Each structure stands twice: as structure tokens, then as C-alpha cells.
Amino acid sequence: MTLPATDTNGGTPGRRAGLGPSAWSPQRMWSVAGAVVLVALVWGFYAWDGAQTTAVLGGTVRAATLLVLGAMCGMIGERSGIVNIGIEGQFLMSAFTAFTVASMSGSLFLGVVAGVSTGLAMGWMLAAMSVGLRTDQIIAGTVLNIAALGLTSFFYDRGRSLGQPKYQSIELGPLADLPVVGTALFNRPPLTYLALVLVVVLHVLLLRSVWGMRTTAIGEHPGAAATVGIDVIRLRYWNVTLAGGLAGLGGAYLALESVGTFTRAMSGGRGFLALAVMIFGRRTPLGAYAAALFFGFTTALQGQFQLNDTFDIPAQFVGMLPFVVTIIVVAAAGLFGRMRDPAALGQPYEVR
Amino acid sequence: MTRTVLRAAAVPLASVVLGLVLGAALIAVQGHSVTTAYGALVLGGAGDADALLRTLQKATPLVFGGLAVAFAFKAGLFNIGGQGQLLVGAAFAAGVGFGLEGVPLVVHLPLALLVGAAAGAAWGAIAGVLKATSGAHEVIVTIMLNFVAGNLTDWLAANPWQDRSGSNIIARTPLVKPSAEIPTWGWLPAGFVLAALAAFACWFVLERTTYGFEVRSVGANRHAARYAGISVGWIMASTMAVAGLLAGLGGAIESLGVDGRFEAGVNVGLGFEGITIALLARTNPIAVIPAGLLVGLMEAGAAKMQFESGVAPEIIDVIQALILLFVAAPLIVRWLLRLRDTDDRRLTLGAGWGR
């Protein structure tokens, strides 16, 4: 175990505690400027072609919901010092159980419960492997991914259907009639609202609560955390398990709200995109949501491009877009404005 | 010597047995006969010359995929990009295979293999160079490159290189010319011989050359290696290129020796099995050969197993996942077998996303 002798970021104490860049740092200025330009652009497109803009914005929120749930699962783990690259498998497995239970019971709600439970179980498995057995965390996550793909393929029943409509949109009164964002944000199915609430709640909890501080502590310096009486192993177990529930909700969302069925390997790499979203969002829920909207936007554009023939770009090249963007983001994050990982990320903690 | 080999092989062997036992339980729970199922699996994979040929053909890309993971592992890099590297290798080798005409076999076949290997190496090098220059984690980048490669090769097979003969609408290239086909000698495909040679070459490079020593030094401790004057960035970039080259060669052999063409969506998933195989072999290049043969046999026999016992062939994926679980968490196996914590070098990677 090494002590971080100097803070190579030159970060402020606020940064340390995960509060993000201080009030008017250049980074924050850039973020604000970027947001203003983005809003102006969206408004312009809305004026130009309302229907298509609404469709793209709706698709953006739809794709972002899954990504932000996965990213929040990842960040709770990473803030505790555990890398989770098994989110893809957690999505897939929970989507499968959510779909199967909803189909057999005829209740979407029971499906969601099954999905979240599966996510919790897989979170516990990751914790058992990486915290308990001290398996390399990247390998432990890979095991989850391969296991989920194998199990869901084996038990996949091609003939099964949901047997009921998927979750439908609920209009939030007059808010849904707002221009531009009305339909995209306030005329959504229930799990999307739940995810939005979770983003805000988790943001406050992670950055302001005792639990959040303790979580940061065991990810930064588990040895020091232990000396002030935090049970590092126990908290890591709890955090990774509970975070799995978020990915489980994501899986349920994918099967029961976004798509309405289960298909083989339906998570399609979005569990990995969620990791990029997490990094891009600096491991905070609100930051991750902003990043998820950006990634969701590339996905939504892809869908829109494929629907109309305005642009003659082959579908495969449009399909690459989110993945190429991720590579650029991850590489750029390394080149400019280096982020600092939690100091104890990836290292097993052993009680001596 | 024998003792050390046995000790090193104890956990992988026990993991395979445990995986098969749990697989048997799953088969029994579904109401099928375990003996019929496993009997058919073995007969379908090694029962006669045809079965053996199938197993060796299946094992070839698996050995290459396993080497692509194992080699990168030695430098502390986790190459999950075998899938994408294999795809570009397969597509570009097929492109050369059908695109050139009137070239003698001694030129055409090596050229096609070389182009496939180079395409894979370039694909792997992207992740290595990004890791070395910006610290972008190779796990994320290689996974993303898998999706990009999938789209790119789909496009190649559906557009510029599509087979236009007859009324074909499938996204696939024309058949490669006979001068680019990899021969098969009875039950022995020449591609498998190449795979075995590649495994020995990897072992030699890693254990008997200065370059291999540098690779292993970077894997053991990046900072110490840099302090010792090794160019860590170069080692990481070149290691990923070699890993990509191996996977690309596997894909090239798949196109030129097994499928006879490149078809979109056919080789999906092959690259991921390399992870299981490399870990089962405990990242030892020579041990990748038996590990690849084992998985190849299961895959070759899966069709016969389904035909004779009704067990879905995806059980193979479940068994593989279980084996991977037990290999990855050796404490479970050791506790079950009451094995003492021996020389076991734990499989670890530099985790974290930064440098």
C-alpha cells in the first residue's frame, strides 16, 4: 500500500472529497459554456424541425436512463475501491430474469423486483469474488459477463413473449406540454422517473452523507478508514451488492420499459459504455447523467439517421459512433485534465 | 519437473472437473441423461477422423485467441479485444484471398495470412498506443474496438466486398481462390499446426529473449521496469500489437482454412473464449494448446450432443463460464480440495483506469 504523497492534480480540498472543481475553475467554465452552446443548438434544431428534434431528444433520454443506472452502479463500486466491469453481465442477467418473471406472472412490477434482486445477487457475487476471495477485480467482472451470456443463452426461450404491453408513458400534467423538453423529460414511463430521482438522491448521498464520506474513505485509503473504526470489508460488500441493484434496475428497464422483450446479448455493450459515462461524469451521479445524455444523444442520432434518408451514411458507420466517441473520450480524459482514480482502486484490502 | 507441472495444473484441472460436474447437474435437472449427453459430446469431438478434424478446426482460433490474451497478460495488460482483432484479421485475409487472381499459392496464401495478421496487429496496436500515450485503459478501448470492428467488417462484407454472384443478399465475401486456401491433411488442418507453432513461438519470445524479459518486467512492476531503463510505453504498445497479430492470424486461418470466406456475424464470440482459455492455461503459452483443445472439443461435440440427448448446445457456454469462475477464484477450488496455498502466483493486473 502506498500513500499518495502529493496530490498530483493540484486539487483543492473540496476536490478531494469528491465535490468537483471549485466554483469558477476553468473546467467548470468550459462545462457551462458547453451547456449553453448545446442548449442553443437544440433550440435551433427544434425551430427548424420540431418533430425530429423531439424524437431525438426522446431517444436521448431513453438511452441515457440505462447508461446512468449502470454508471451509478460502477461509481459506487469504484468510490469504494472496487472496479466493476461486470455491469454488462448484470444488465443482461437482470433483463433476462425481469422479462421471464414478468412474462410468467403477468406483472411488470414483479419483473422489476426480479431484475433488481438479480442485480443484487450479481453484485454480491462480484463482492464475494473481489472483496472476499480477493480475485483480480477485472477478471471477476469478466467472469460475471461471460457467465451472464452463457446462462441467458442456455435458458433463453425463443417462443416466450411478454404477454402484456411494456411500461407506458405517464404525462406529468402541464410540464409535459413544455416546448422542446416537454415530451422528452415529462412524458416518460415510470422507471425513467425513478432513475431520475435516484440520480438526485444518490448525488446528495454520495457527496454529503456520512455513508458517502465513508465510501470515499475506503476507496481512497482503506487502512486509514479502518483505524477510525470503519469496517472496510463489510462496507465494500454492502456497497458493491447494493450497487448491483442499480444495474439490476437498469436490466429491468431495458427489458420491460425500453424494449419490451428479451433477446440474446441484448445489453449490446451498454454496460461498458456506462463505464465510460462514469469516467466522463467524474464519478458523480449528476455528472454521469450529463455524460449519459451526451452518449444517449449519439445513440439517438444513430437511430434517427437510420430512419430517414437525409444523410447517406451506411448504417454500420453510424452504428460505430457511440463506441468511437467513447474511445476518444477515454483517451482525451487521459491526455487533458487528468482525472485521479480513487487511490485504492483495484487493490484488495487485507486485514492484517 | 513433473511435480511442478502437476502442481500448477491442479487448480485448472479441478476447475474443469467441477465445471463438468455442475454442468451435469444442470443437464440432469432439465431431465436429460448425463451419460448420453457427455458420451455424445466426446464422440462428436473425438470419435472419428471427422470429429477430430472438427475439434482441431474449432481449437485453432481458440488457441490463437488464448495466446492473444495470454501474451498481453504478461505485460500486465488485459486484452479483451481478441474479438475485434480476429474479425479484422478474418475480413482482410478473405479480402486478399478472393481479390487476387492468378497468383501462385506460395505467394498468395502467405500474403493473405500476412495481411490478416497485420490488420489484427494494427487493431491491437490502437489500444496499446492509446494506453502508452494517454493512459486510456486497454479494457475499455479494446471492448469499444470490438464493436467498431464488428461494424466495419459488416460493412466490408455487405458493401465493397460483397459476393455478387447469383442472387446472394447475405453479407459475405466471395469464396477465396484455391491458391489462398489453407490445406487440410486428413484429420489434421494445417491451421492447427500454425497455432501450435505460434504457441511455442510465444513461449520462446517470452522466456528466452530480451524482449520477452522486458515484457515480463513491465507486467511484474511497471515502475520498476521504467526505473530499470525499459521503455514501458513501447513495450505496452508492441505487446498489444503482438496480441492483435495473434488474434488476427487466428481470424485469417478461420477465413482461409475453415469458412472459405468472410461472412458477417459468423465468428462472433470466438474472441471472448480466448479469455477463458488463457486463464485456464494460467497464461502459459504452451498450456494454451491443451486448454484450446478442450474447449474446441466441447464445441465440436455440442451438435452431436444436442442431436442425441436434446441438451441445448449453449450448455457449453455455461460450463465454460463455471470453469472460468473456478480458475479465477482459486480459493474456492483450494478450499474444496484442501489444497495448500502453494506457489500459486495470483493472476493480477494493474487495475484502475489511469496510468
Nearest CB neighbour to A146, from listed B159, B314, B321: B321
**B27 within domain boundaries:** no
Q: Which of A9-13, B6-10, B135-139 has the lowest mean pLDDT?
A: A9-13
What single DSSP character describes residue B178? G
| Nearest C-alpha in A relative to B316 | A150
With 90 as the cut, is the pLDDT of residue A126 above it?
yes
Closest Cα partner for B94 from B160, B165, B186, B148? Answer: B160
Q: pLDDT band at A281, cuts 50/70/90?
A: confident
- Smallest CA–CA distance, residue B203 to chain A, in Å, is 23
Contact at CB, A323 and B353, closer than 8 angstroms = no
- pLDDT of A1 reads 37
User: How far is residue B156's CA from residue B161's CA, in Å, rounded to a whole number?
Assistant: 6
With 90 as the cut, is the pLDDT of residue B239 above it?
yes
Task: Look up the domain containing B264 and give its range.
Answer: 49-295
Measure CA A10 to chain center.
28
User: How far is residue B234's CA from residue B211's CA, in Å, rounded to a whole number?
Assistant: 11
Q: Are B41 and B305 in contact (CB under 8 A)?
A: yes
Burial of B41 (0-12, 13-18, 19+ CB in 10 A): buried
Nearest CB neighbour to B140, from listed A135, A275, A316: A275
Query: Measured between CB atoms, does B324 come within 8 Å of chain A?
Result: yes
**Contacting residues of A for B130, CB less than 8 Å apart:** 327, 330-331, 334
- pLDDT of B78 reads 86
**B303 within domain boundaries:** no
The amino acid present at B179, given as its one-letter code, is: S
Residues 280 to 299 of A: which have CB under 8 A from any B CB?
none
- pLDDT of A292 reads 92
**B67 within domain boundaries:** yes
The residues with which B90 forms a beta bridge, in sequence order, are: none
- Smallest CA–CA distance, residue B228 to chain A, in Å, is 20
What is chain A's Cα-based Rg? 20
- pLDDT of A339 reads 62
Closest Cα partner for B352 from A341, A107, A18? Answer: A341
User: How far is residue B229's CA from residue B232's CA, in Å, rounded to a whole number?
Assistant: 9
- pLDDT of B63 reads 96
Taking only the tens place, the pLDDT of each residue in B80-110 is 899 999 999 999 999 999 998 888 989 999 9
Element (H, E) at B73: helix B49-74
Q: Are A92 and A269 in contact (CB under 8 A)?
A: no
- pLDDT of A13 reads 41
- Smallest CA–CA distance, residue B94 to chain A, in Å, is 19
| Nearest C-alpha in A relative to B80 | A142
Closest Cα partner for B46 from B318, B351, B296? Answer: B296
With 50 as the cut, is the pLDDT of residue A5 above it?
no
User: How far is residue B322's CA from residue B299's CA, in Å, rounded to a whole number?
Assistant: 16
**B31 within domain boundaries:** no
User: How far is residue B239's CA from residue B227's CA, in Å, rounded to a whole number?
Assistant: 19
Contact at CB, B355 and A334, closer than 8 angstroms = yes
The model carries a pTM of 0.85
**ipTM (interface pTM):** 0.84
Contact at CB, A316 and B154, closer than 8 angstroms = yes
What is chain B's Cα-based Rg? 21
With 80 as the cut, is the pLDDT of residue A8 above it?
no
Task: Write down the mean pLDDT value for chain A.
Answer: 83
Which one is predicted more confidently, A150 or B252?
B252
- Smallest CA–CA distance, residue B290 to chain A, in Å, is 21
CA distances from A196 to A123, A278, A345 (A): 22, 16, 27
**Contacting residues of B for A334, CB less than 8 Å apart:** 130, 133-136, 354-355
Nearest CB neighbour to A143, from listed B139, B155, B328: B328
Strands B184-185, A187-188: pairing is unpaired
Share of chain B above pLDDT 70, in %: 93
With 60 as the cut, is the pLDDT of residue A7 above it?
no
Q: Tell me what the mean pLDDT of segment A182-196 comes to.
A: 83
Which one is predicted more confidently, B269 or A125?
A125
User: How far is residue A65's CA from residue A277's CA, in Å, rounded to a whole number?
Assistant: 12
- pLDDT of A264 reads 86
CATH number for the domain including B246?
Answer: 1.10.3470
Residue with cell string 504523497: A5
Nearest CB neighbour to A279, from listed B145, B154, B353: B353
| Nearest C-alpha in A relative to B272 | A146
Burial of B114 (0-12, 13-18, 19+ CB in 10 A): middle
With 90 as the cut, is the pLDDT of residue B40 above it?
yes
Give me B152's grid cell: 466495419
Task: Write down the mean pLDDT value for chain B.
Answer: 89
Q: Tell me what the mean pLDDT of segment B3-7 comes to.
A: 76
**B320 within domain boundaries:** no
User: How far is residue A121's CA from residue B79's CA, in Å, rounded to a whole number?
Assistant: 27
Backbone φ and ψ for B60, nearest 5 degrees, come out as -55, -55
With 50 as the cut, is the pLDDT of residue A15 above it?
no
CA distances from A29 to A14, A34, A165, B106, B125 (A): 17, 8, 45, 62, 36
User: How far is residue B85's CA from residue B80's CA, in Å, rounded to a whole number?
Assistant: 10
For B249-271, the DSSP string reads: HHHHHIIIIIISS-BTTSSTTHH
Taking only the tens place, the pLDDT of each residue in B138-197 is 888 998 899 899 999 999 998 889 988 878 888 899 999 999 999 999 899 999 999 999
With 70 as the cut, is the pLDDT of residue B340 above it?
no
Taking only the tens place, the pLDDT of each residue in A77-116 is 999 999 898 999 999 999 999 999 999 999 999 999 999 9
**B219 within domain boundaries:** yes
- Smallest CA–CA distance, residue B272 to chain A, in Å, is 8
The amino acid present at A197, given as its one-letter code, is: V
Closest Cα partner for B66 from B295, B233, B220, B268? Answer: B295
Which one is predicted more confidently, B198 or A330?
B198
Taking only the tens place, the pLDDT of each residue in A210-236 is 999 999 999 999 989 999 999 999 999
Taking only the tens place, the pLDDT of each residue in B269-316 is 676 788 889 988 988 999 999 999 999 999 999 989 999 988 888 888
Query: Measured between CB atoms, does B312 come within 8 Å of chain A?
Result: yes
**Contacting residues of A for B346, CB less than 8 Å apart:** 134, 136
- pLDDT of A329 reads 78
The residues with which A187 forms a beta bridge, in sequence order, are: A171
With 90 as the cut, is the pLDDT of residue A138 above it?
no
If DSSP codes are grouped into helix, strand and coil, which group holds residue B188? strand
- Smallest CA–CA distance, residue B179 to chain A, in Å, is 31
Query: Measured between CB atoms, does A321 come within 8 Å of chain B?
Result: no
Structurally, chain B folds into a number of domains equal to 1
Q: Are B347 and A139 in contact (CB under 8 A)?
A: yes
Which one is predicted more confidently, B250 or B5?
B250
**Contacting residues of A for B154, CB less than 8 Å apart:** 316
Residues 6+ apart with CB under 8 A from A260: A162, A165, A166
- Smallest CA–CA distance, residue B349 to chain A, in Å, is 7
| SS3 labels along chain A | CCCCCCCCCCCCHHHHCCCCCCCCCHHHHHHHHHHHHHHHHHHHHHHHCHHHHHHHHHHHHHHHHHHHHHHHHHHHHHHCCCCCCCHHHHHHHHHHHHHHHHHHHCCHHHHHHHHHHHHHHHHHHHHHHHHHCCCCHHHHHHHHHHHHHHHHHHHCCCCCCCCCCCCCCEECHHHHHCCCCHHHHHEECHHHHHHHHHHHHHHHHHHHCHHHHHHHHHHHCHHHHHHCCCCHHHHHHHHHHHHHHHHHHHHHHHHHHHHCCCCCCCCCCHHHHHHHHHHHCCCCHHHHHHHHHHHHHHHHHHHHHHHCCCCCCCHHHHHHHHHHHHHHHHHHHHHCCCCCCCCCCCCCCCCC
Query: Measured between CB atoms, does A40 come within 8 Å of chain B?
Result: no
Q: pLDDT band at B339, cuts 50/70/90?
A: low
Q: Pick left, alpha or beta for residue B346 (phi over 0 → left; psi -120 to 50 → alpha; otherwise beta).
A: beta
Query: Measured between CB atoms, does B137 come within 8 Å of chain A?
Result: yes
Q: Are A125 and A241 in contact (CB under 8 A)?
A: no
If DSSP codes are grouped into helix, strand and coil, which group holds residue B343? coil
With 60 as the cut, is the pLDDT of residue B355 above it?
no
With 90 as the cut, is the pLDDT of residue A306 above it?
no
- pLDDT of A19 reads 46
Give me A37's grid cell: 452552446
Q: Longest Cα pair distance anywhere in chain A, in angstroms?
A: 65
Residues 159 to 198 of B: which have CB under 8 A from any A CB?
159
Q: Longest Cα pair distance anywhere in chain B, in angstroms?
A: 64
Contact at CB, B148 and A320, closer than 8 angstroms = yes
Query: Measured between CB atoms, does A139 come within 8 Å of chain B?
Result: yes
Nearest CB neighbour to B78, from listed A138, A150, A314: A138
Taking only the tens place, the pLDDT of each residue in B52-83 is 999 999 999 999 999 999 999 999 898 989 99
Taking only the tens place, the pLDDT of each residue in A27-49 is 666 667 777 777 777 767 666 66
Neighbour count for residue A251 (Cβ, 10 Å): 36
With 80 as the cut, is the pLDDT of residue A168 above it?
yes
Q: Which of B277-286, B316-325, B332-341 has the lowest mean pLDDT?
A: B332-341
Cα pseudo-dihedral B60, B63, B64, B68, rounded to 10: 170
Nearest CB neighbour to B136, from listed A334, A340, A345: A334
Closest Cα partner for A280 from A271, A289, A267, A269? Answer: A289
Q: Which of A11-20, A70-79, B32-41, B103-112 has the lowest mean pLDDT?
A: A11-20
Domains in chain A and their CATH numbers?
61-158+173-335 (1.10.3470)
**Contacting residues of A for B279, CB less than 8 Å apart:** 139
Residue of A129, A139, A325 for testing the chain B interface, max B β-carbons within 10 Å: A139
**B110 within domain boundaries:** yes
**B112 within domain boundaries:** yes
Q: pLDDT band at A74, cuts 50/70/90?
A: very high
